[in-house]
Structure 1
Amino acid sequence: MTEGEVAGWVEGELAAGRGGHIVTPNVDICRAVAGDAALRELVNGAEVVVADGMPLVWASRLLGTPVPERVTGADLIWSLSDRAARCGWPVYLLGGPPGVAAAAAAELASRHPGLRVCGVDAPPYGFDATARGRRRARRKVVEARPSLVFVGLGFPRQDLLIGELRRELPGAWFVGCGAAIGFAAGTVSRAPGWMRGAGLEWLFRLACEPGRLARRYLVDGVPFALRLLLSSAVTRLRLSGAAGRRSAL
């Protein structure tokens, strides 16, 4: 789906009383799930999975099964908040350092008049390592009764917590949005549009946070992306060759 189609899908599902989970895999998430069956099941169990990463878009084209566009959590936080303001859905923001979720809520509300943010929370790092910490965070969300929840804790922490929350709020929609709350607040800089379109957003983020992201991108991400593109091209050639042989018969 396109970004606009995702927003329309969520609107239709909420109107029908059905909740759901949106996962936005990028290269890093794909690398993680490739080697972990439990994480693969976590992603496959989501109602909506969209490609947050140009290498994934390129790989889909090489395979001959192209997705229409890149859809990121950083974009969905804006488009879904716009839809929430128009439809009257209460929104909740969970994640980020202290004060960031509140700043993001203020920015979203200023851009989308009528948006109702029913709660924000910035739990301390590592809160989800204990049952008590997870219960506290879940209780705050459940008491706020949101229709739409943005959870920015990074994969897979955000999506594991979403799995628990869905049992308590089955009619709500949850978006695992990574750094999107920081982007919305303006505390984390986002790459210019031309870099995002060219698949170079990772390079911009690497320049901003080299110490934290060097291994993720240079050691793990780039080699995995290259293998993904190569394997997609080889798979397409094999399928085309097999189809050609069947036609000849």
Structure 2
Amino acid sequence: MNHVARLQSSAEFGSIYERARLILADGWPVVRLAKSLGAGISGRSTGSGITYTLAHTYGGGHRVFLVGGSTPASLEAAAAVFRENGWLVESEQAPMGWLGSADNMRELAARVAAFGADLVLIGVGSPLQERVAVSLLSAQGVTAVLMGVGASIDFIAGETARRAPKWMQRLGIEWLHRILTDPGRLLKRYVGDVVPFLRVVRQSHANSE
């Protein structure tokens, strides 16, 4: 829902979406809107779910580059899970502000290219992770699949307390759990997303009539 809301006001974010080869619905409001408009979509495809599946599926020597993690220790713990399942792993924790440097971004792109990454999972939050993906997409020698995965690296590291219980995920109220665990950051964001998202709902149904 946050992405739908942001797309209404950010030309930059819209240009990033135009570069994407695959867009998945991570959020029940978006899924329900899509279904109401007749889209053939069965449910959410969450970054955390996809990352978990990848980390626990035999990698067969494929190369994954992890960008993010709240601490160096959590990043290394996540990398260890991938390695245990047959992935070759390189990583960059990218602490706060690190990705704001053009030199650091060039260094990251060079490392991704030199590693020959098949997959880059970027878990530094939106819209920064989308900006990083576009930068890597345009970098020489980078041929990997690039995916924004939010807090998924920390989840893989075992910091499961930050994710909603399974029953909340099934009921589609994971957003409530996130607000309760980080109200200072997320309450304002979620509330601010509601009005622009409802405008999109109304306009979408009007256009479909």
How many Å separate the matches in 2 of 1:229 and 1:198? Answer: 21
Shift of 1:41: 1.9
Contact 1:58–1:229 (Cα < 8 Å) also in 2? no
- Tell me the residue number matched to 1:196: 169
Q: What residue identity is the alignment partner of 2:187?
A: A
How many Å separate the matches in 2 of 1:195 and 1:229? Answer: 24
Q: SS state of the match for residue 96, structure 2?
A: coil
How many Å separate the matches in 2 of 1:194 and 1:175? Answer: 26
- Tell me the residue number matched to 1:62: 36
How many Å separate the matches in 2 of 1:224 and 1:81? Answer: 35
Shift of 1:170: 4.1
- Tell me the residue number matched to 1:6: none
- Structure 1 residues 60, 28: closer, same or farther in 2, change over 3 A? same
Deviations 1:5-52 (A, max 9, x none): xxxxxxxxxxxxxxxxxxxxxx11121122122211211211111101
Q: SS state of the match for residue 49, structure 1?
A: coil
The answer for unaligned runs of 5 or more in structure 2 is none
Q: What residue identity is the alignment partner of 2:102?
A: A
1:223 aligns with 2:175: no
How many Å separate the matches in 1 of 2:126 and 2:140? Answer: 21
TM-score norm. by structure 2 comes to 0.88
1:180 aligns with 2:161: no
How many Å separate the matches in 2 of 1:124 and 1:194? Answer: 32
Q: SS state of the match for residue 91, structure 2?
A: strand
Q: SS state of the match for residue 120, structure 1?
A: strand
Contact 1:93–1:150 (Cα < 8 Å) also in 2? yes
How many Å separate the matches in 1 of 2:135 and 2:155? Answer: 26
Deviations 1:85-105 (A, max 9, x none): 344311111112232211111
Contact 1:151–1:174 (Cα < 8 Å) also in 2? yes
- Tell me the residue number matched to 1:245: none
How many Å separate the matches in 2 of 1:30 and 1:168? Answer: 31
Identity %: 32
Deviates more, 1:220-229 or 1:130-139: 220-229
- Structure 1 residues 36, 60: closer, same or farther in 2, change over 3 A? same
Q: How does 1:19-34 map to 2 (within 5 A)?
A: 27-34=1-8
Shift of 1:168: 2.6
Contact 1:62–1:229 (Cα < 8 Å) also in 2? no
How many Å separate the matches in 2 of 1:194 and 1:235? Answer: 35
Q: What residue identity is the alignment partner of 1:53?
A: G
The answer for unaligned runs of 5 or more in structure 1 is 1-26, 240-249
How many Å separate the matches in 2 of 1:76 and 1:234? Answer: 33
How many Å separate the matches in 1 of 2:59 and 2:164? Answer: 28
Q: How many residues align?
A: 206
Q: What residue identity is the alignment partner of 1:180?
A: S
Shift of 1:81: 3.5
- Structure 1 residues 156, 228: closer, same or farther in 2, change over 3 A? same
- Tell me the residue number matched to 2:81: 107
Shift of 1:82: 4.5
TM-score norm. by structure 1 comes to 0.75
Q: SS state of the match for residue 51, structure 2?
A: helix
User: Between Structure 1 and Structure 2, whose CA radius of gyration is higher?
Assistant: 1
Deviates more, 1:188-197 or 1:170-179: 188-197
